[in-house]
Amino acid sequence: MSTQEIVALLFAILGTFFVLRGLWNLVSALDSRKWPHVPGVIVSPQTYHFRIQGEEHTGHRACFGDSSRTRLAFLRSGTRYAPGMKVTVHYNPEKPHDCVLAPGWNAFLMIDLVFGAVFLAVAVVFF
C-alpha cells in the first residue's frame, strides 16, 4: 500500500467517523424535541442540576452537537446561562443523564457533518 493510499484511507476513516457522529447527533437532536422537560438551575459555567421525581441529576450539554465543554462554556458565557439562573432541561426518559437545555436542531450539528464531508472529499482526491 502506497503512502498516498494510506493517507486516503485515514481520511476516509476520519470522514466516516465524523459523518456517523454527526448523523447520530442530528437524530438525537430531533428526538429531543419530544422529550419531557423539568426546571433546572445552572450551577457553574459547565454544569446544571435538575430533579426528576425527587432524584437529583446533573447535565453538561447545552445542545446536541455540543460535544465539547468548551462550546458549552461559550454558550453560557453570556447572561443567558449565568450560575444560579433557572433553565428548562429536556431529558431522555429512558436515560435521564442524556439531557439538553436547547432541544432540536442547531448550528453545532453541522460541524461534524461538514468536517466529515471534507475528510471524505480529501480521501476521494487521494484515491
Q: Using one digit for the tens of pLDDT, what is the confidence trace for 81-108?
A: 788 999 999 999 999 999 999 899 888 8
DSSP 8-state symbol, 104: S
CA angle 15, 127, 121 (to 5 degrees): 35
Query: Averaged over 5-27, what is the pLDDT?
Result: 95
- In this structure, the strands spanning 37-44 and 47-52 are antiparallel
Q: What is the pLDDT of residue 72?
A: 54
Q: What is the pLDDT of residue 113?
A: 93
The Cα–Cα gap between 89 and 63 comes to: 10
Pick the CATH number of 36-103 from 2.60.98, 2.60.120, 2.40.50, 1.20.120: 2.40.50
**Residue 90 grid cell:** 429536556
Tell me the Cα Rg of the chain: 18
Between 50 and 109, residue with greater pLDDT: 50
- The number of residues making up the chain comes to 127
| DSSP-derived 3-state class of residue 99 | strand
CA angle 33, 35, 36 (to 5 degrees): 125
pLDDT digits (tens, 9 = 90+) for 30-87: 999 999 999 999 998 778 999 999 999 999 988 888 765 545 555 554 556 788 999 9
